[in-house]
């Protein structure tokens, strides 16, 4: 169950959790609308970055498994960085949200990835350290 | 002062992208090597690579947004 589609499903679930947190904050504190709106824009941008990264990684794995030597596209990281900048520009310039909140929302994507990675590692090792040799005290 | 801000932004994003490039290269080289050796582990290796690259690439994207904040 540690393949990429299941990981992306869990990623989407946790991203929806962060989006719901932002919506709740917007609903209960309307005077903080620029902050929670910027956070929502950042979380959405971070999820788009994660989707693009998953598509790119699966394409690279498919080419490696197929033994192809074709060049990968040149716009991998540039596209993802541009998605982050686009989220920031739309959030600040057009919707007049808060830029630090947007940056915090962009951090939610890597945070979700970190949480999923740590949970996957603990599931693989059964809660024990990976360099443990099985001695019981 | 504005020039110094833009210079700092460029250095921040450039060094972040340099580190991410090195990290991505290491992760993907080992992933492709592993898939070539054991194609049946493709799903697990792909998920592990996704987690690693997601964490590596977070820093330059945040650095880019911070660079925009400083240079604005």
Q: Which of A50, A81, A120 sits opposite B54 (nearest CB)?
A: A50
* B60 within 8 A of B13, measured Cβ to Cβ: yes
Is the pLDDT at A40 greater than 70, yes or no? yes
pLDDT in tens, B2-20: 788 888 888 888 898 899 8
* pLDDT value of residue A45: 92
Q: Which of B43, B65, B68 sits opposite A3 (nearest CB)?
A: B43
Q: What is the pLDDT averaged over residues A88-115?
A: 87
Token code pair at residue B63: 């650095």
Which of B68, B7, B23, A70 minimizes the C-alpha distance to B31?
Answer: B23
Identify the closest residue of chain A to B39 by CA–CA distance: A65
Residue ranges of domains in chain A: 3-118
Complex confidence, ipTM? 0.80
> Which pTM value belongs to this model?
0.82
CB–CB of B60 and A77 under 8 A?
yes
């Amino acid at each position: 169950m540690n393949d990429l589609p299941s990981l992306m499903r869990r990623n989407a679930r946790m991203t929806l959790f962060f989006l719901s947190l932002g919506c709740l904050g917007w609903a209960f504190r309307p005077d903080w609308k620029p902050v929670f709106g910027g956070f929502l824009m950042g979380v959405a941008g971070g999820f788009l970055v994660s989707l693009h990264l998953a598509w790119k990684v699966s394409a690279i794995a498919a080419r490696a498994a197929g033994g192809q030597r074709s060049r990968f596209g040149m716009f991998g990281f540039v596209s993802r960085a541009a998605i982050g900048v686009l989220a920031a520009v739309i959030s600040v310039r057009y919707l007049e949200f808060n830029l630090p909140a947007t940056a915090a929302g962009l951090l939610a994507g890597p945070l979700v990835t970190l949480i999923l990675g740590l949970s996957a590692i603990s599931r693989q090792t059964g809660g024990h350290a990976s360099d443990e040799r099985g001695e019981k005290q | 002062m504005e020039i110094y801000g833009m210079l700092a932004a460029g250095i921040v994003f450039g060094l972040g992208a340099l580190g991410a490039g090195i990290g991505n290269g290491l992760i993907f080289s080992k992933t492709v090597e592993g898939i070539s050796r054991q194609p049946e582990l493709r799903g697990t290796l792909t998920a592990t690579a996704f987690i690693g690259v997601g964490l590596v690439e977070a820093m330059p994207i945040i650095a880019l947004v911070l660079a925009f904040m400083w240079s604005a």
